[in-house]
Amino acid sequence: MLAAIPRWADENVLIGFDTADDAGVYKLTPELALVQTVDFFTPIVDDPFTFGAIAAANALSDVYAMGGRPISSLSILAYPGNGDIADLEQILKGGAEKMHEAGCAILGGHSIADDEIKFGYAVTGTVHPARVKANAGARPGDALVFTKRLGTGVIATALKRGIASPEHVARSIESMLALNRRACEEMLRFDVHGCTDVTGFGLLGHAREMAAASGVTLEIETARVQFLPGAVDYSRAGAIPGGLKNNREFASCAVAALREVPREIEDLLYDPQTSGGLLIALAENDAAALAAALPGAYPIGRVLPRGEKPIRLL
């Protein structure tokens, strides 16, 4: 569909929507570029304050994935005309506190009346034009490092079905609330060749985009991928979000499994993440140093020359 949208050449557009990257980048000067992104969604937790904070962390993530520093934001809100004003206040407060934690100013926003609640932000960041981290750039021989555990979508679905334990929900919320700022700061210490954040398209969906943009194959060792507590059990129990099914339809044609992967694990590789981690491609020695320096980060595979399929599962 995007291929049918008219576009006009602009030498200052460093990254547009050609490679399905996390955000757009526009150069202002030889030393300064803007990073721009927008994201919003329906509630995935019961507490309105927590929902607002997660929505903010998720929107900020795209800027961090590009190696940028968020500086300003605009809120986007759809809320029922007869909705609870106290809940709305908590949503906005949760988002505001997370933006404050990120050092990102809220300049305003826009709202409409809608029976289904939706909330998020358009975020603007800054980056040096020579330090942009795009999803295109992964090189054969690189290692792949991931910075969070998977399973937020499955756990959110288990919560809606009333089968998720409070402890597992709390761990999932803790992960979603964690900014990718530290991960961005640490990766900028190294020569990172490619980066994307893993959000709605799941690990394999975003990996497919990185592989296609870079012209390579990503080999992922499924035994190395880490999951949030309870995620595997809920996946086995059938707590499968609709987005997971959509992600499988989108990405499975690009995946070659070289060994049998248990269905509950395969499902989690397609699980849509909210405020997920960064998938980073960099030299193997640097990957080991990054994983050692960044709590929660771990290697999950490597980059190969382009093969028959963009993704190989071991």
Backbone angles phi, psi at 78, to 5 degrees: -120, 125
For 171-212, the pLDDT digits (tens) are 999 999 999 999 999 999 999 999 999 999 999 999 999 999
Residue with tokens 């989690």: 268
For 125-140, the pLDDT digits (tens) are 999 999 999 999 999 9
CA atoms of 21 and 214, how far apart (whole Å): 11
Q: Which domains does the chain have, with CATH numbers?
A: 2-130 (3.30.1330.10), 134-313 (3.90.650.10)
Tokens of 98: 């997370």
For 53-91, the pLDDT digits (tens) are 999 999 999 999 999 999 999 999 999 999 899 999 999
**Angle at alpha carbon of residue 265, lines to 304 and 226, rounded to 5°:** 70
Contact 278, 187 (CB under 8 A): yes
Q: Which helix (H) or strand (E) holds 124?
A: strand 118-127
pTM: 0.93
pLDDT for residue 1: 58
Checking DSSP bridges between strand 13-15 and strand 24-29, what pairing results, if any?
Answer: antiparallel
Tokens of 102: 């990120």
CA atoms of 8 and 41, how far apart (whole Å): 30
Specify burial of residue 174 (Cβ count, 10 A radius: 0-12, 13-18, 19+): exposed
- Closest by CA to 150, choosing from 243, 50, 231, is 231
CA atoms of 54 and 218, how far apart (whole Å): 29
